[in-house]
Amino acid sequence: MKRQISIENTDIYYDLILKNKKNISIKINSNGHLIIYAPIGISLAYIEKLLIRKKKWIIKNLNIVNNNPYNLKNSIIFLGNKYDIKLEITQKESICLDSEFIYIKSKSIDYKYIQNLLGSWYKEQAEKILFDRVNILSNYCRLYPSNIIIKDQKTRWGSCSSKKEIRLNWRLILMPNSIIDYIIIHELCHLKIMNHSSDFWELVKIYVPNYREYKKWLNENGSLIMSVK
Ligand SMILES: [Zn+2]
């Protein structure tokens, strides 16, 4: 059931889901909805007290989710550009882009469903675009991996194994081209130098003279992009 509480002059809406369980858990889902799971029979006064006690955490995390430009709302981000969503409910599903809009044809209007549809599309694009970029940059740097794997990595953008395999996070596809290229070149340079020594950074600098700028961009935007499902 939908409920509302006022915390520090902000109206906060939450879903209360009563379950046959012992403890209470508070969650914020990727749509920015606050959900409380609680045992059947619990008093509303108890829940409200708990919400007030946890207000700092709740307000902070609601803000993070709701202000994350990388989360699906009315627009999406692809290769660093913003596209407004034009949604159509159809039998045959497809996703395509022009310079301004992303046209999503979906069988269902359900948010989660569309999010999944978009997730599969992102991964397909990642396979195509990242493979191409690695090939081009490999030739440019004359550093050749044995294999390229696009992965759903939760904590890293890319990695390079001792078998000279390069793995890249599909979420790179949300970033501007210049950042994608930096990450790929970073991993290609690991084919030659496995650590992050000054020699390594000197090598990166040959191909990406302003790599520090891109590292800074990743520090500022990385966690928002990493949270995209
Ligand atoms: Zn590295």
| pLDDT band with cut points at 50, 70 and 90 for residue 4 | confident
Specify whether the CB–CB gap between 174 and 225 falls below 8 A. Answer: yes
Res 88 pLDDT > 90: no
Res 66 pLDDT > 80: no
Task: State in Å: Cα 215 to ligand 1 middle.
Answer: 11
Whether residues 42 and 95 share a domain: the answer is: no
CA 221 to chain centre: 10
Mean pLDDT for 92-120 is 89
Task: State in Å: Cα 156 to ligand 1 middle.
Answer: 10
- The count of domains in the chain is 3
| pLDDT band with cut points at 50, 70 and 90 for residue 61 | confident
> Residues of the chain with pLDDT > 70: what percent?
97
This prediction's pTM: 0.75
Amino acid at 18: L
CA 62/CA 103 separation, integer angstroms = 28
Whether residues 207 and 152 share a domain: the answer is: yes
Task: State in Å: Cα 61 to ligand 1 middle.
Answer: 30
Q: Which of 22, 37, 66 is the last residue of a domain?
A: 66
Provide the domain limits for residue 6.
2-66
Whether residues 50 and 13 share a domain: the answer is: yes
Which range among 45-49, 78-82, 86-90, 171-175 shows the weakest confidence by mean pLDDT? 86-90
Amino acid at 192: K
Question: b/e map of 5-41 (b: 16 or more CB within 10 Å)?
Answer: beeeeeebebeeeeeeeeeeebebeeebbbebebeee
Mean pLDDT for 167-173 is 97
Long-range contacts of 37-45 (CB under 8 A, 24+ apart): 42/18, 44/3
